[in-house]
């Protein structure tokens, strides 16, 4: 018996496989391309809708097996793929519209220190002291978040010029505390009522970031001194007055929404 071979059959199968591959790639591109091309405004709006007022703000897995797309860290990785920072999982800097320091691109001329405080009962805030072009600026930001439950979004930014002597004093203290080599404070074990502090600084390409729990009353002498520096900046901008004015529970305040 003579076997008949149809030459078109292999070609047909190859074409079919090629078409299937084409459609799969096309579908994938259609799903991911818009997400990767969001504008900064779209990214910010997505954060407000998906993280800012959700318990934990996407910082942690709430349930085993939870969709990783609901994590703030996944959002950052997708939307800012060129950012190299150690704390990309922390949503509070994003809520404050603060930068994440890229440790691969440190500016050797920069003089900058930042305190970010996330309290159980007060509005989250940041204090940034920076010297640029011979002038020193203190920038204060507040969100409408509530305690450690959610970050909220930025509602106030206040910027003022402060004496250069303040910068000199702060950075002298930072150096004297050997801040650039600091790590965790093992003498403080946290608690159920207090605040989380993030202290971060850049000085002539030297960099470090540490976290402390309620440093005014928990921790060693170095931790207490860091808290004093933060409170010194808070006094310079009259932070308690700003917090009272921006507390959303008080009547008559209009909260900024995007």
Mind listing the pLDDT tens digit for each residue in 15-71?
555 555 544 444 444 444 445 689 999 999 999 999 999 888 877 654 445 555 678
Angle between the N-to-C axes of helices 221-236 and 164-176, in degrees from 0 to 180, rounded to the nearest 10: 170
Are 94 and 47 spatial neighbours (Cβ–Cβ below 8 Å)? yes
Percent residues over pLDDT 90 in the chain: 57
Domain boundaries, the chain: 39-246
Q: What sign has the CA pseudo-torsion 128, 229, 210, 74?
A: negative
φ, ψ (nearest 5 deg) of residue 78: -75, -40
**Helix or strand or coil: residue 124?**
coil
DSSP string, 127-141: EEEEEETTEEEEEEE
Which carries the bigger pLDDT value, residue 23 or residue 212? 212
Whole-number pLDDT of residue 44: 95
**Helix or strand or coil: residue 162?**
strand
Quick one: 26 exposed, middle or buried, by C-beta within 10 A (0-12, 13-18, 19+)? exposed
State pLDDT tens for residues 153-187.
Answer: 999 999 999 999 999 999 999 999 999 999 998 88
> What confidence category does residue 252 fall into, taking pLDDT thresholds of 50, 70 and 90?
very low
With 80 as the cut, is the pLDDT of residue 14 above it? no
């Amino acid at each position: 018996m003579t076997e008949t071979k149809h030459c078109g059959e292999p070609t047909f199968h190859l074409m079919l496989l090629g078409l299937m591959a084409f459609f799969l790639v096309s579908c994938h591109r259609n799903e991911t391309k818009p997400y990767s091309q969001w504008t900064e405004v779209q990214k910010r709006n997505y954060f407000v809708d998906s993280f800012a007022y959700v318990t934990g703000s996407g910082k942690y897995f709430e349930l085993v097996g939870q969709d990783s797309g609901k994590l703030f860290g996944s959002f950052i990785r997708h939307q800012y793929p060129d950012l190299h920072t150690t704390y990309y999982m922390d949503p509070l800097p994003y809520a404050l519209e603060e930068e994440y320091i890229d440790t691969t691109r440190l500016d050797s001329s920069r003089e900058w220190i930042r305190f970010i405080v996330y309290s159980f009962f007060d509005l989250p805030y940041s204090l940034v002291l920076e010297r640029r072009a011979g002038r020193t600026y203190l920038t204060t930001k507040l969100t409408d978040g509530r305690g450690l439950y959610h970050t909220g979004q930025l509602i106030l930014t206040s910027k003022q010029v402060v004496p250069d002597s303040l910068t000199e004093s702060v950075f002298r203290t930072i150096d004297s505390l050997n801040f650039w080599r600091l790590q965790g404070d093992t003498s403080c074990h946290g608690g159920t009522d207090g605040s989380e502090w993030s202290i971060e600084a850049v000085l002539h390409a030297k960099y470090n970031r540490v976290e402390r729990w309620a440093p005014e009353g928990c921790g060693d002498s170095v931790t207490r001194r860091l808290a004093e520096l933060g409170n010194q900046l808070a006094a310079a901008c009259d932070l308690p007055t700003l917090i009272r004015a921006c507390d959303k529970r008080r009547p008559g305040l209009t909260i900024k929404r995007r």
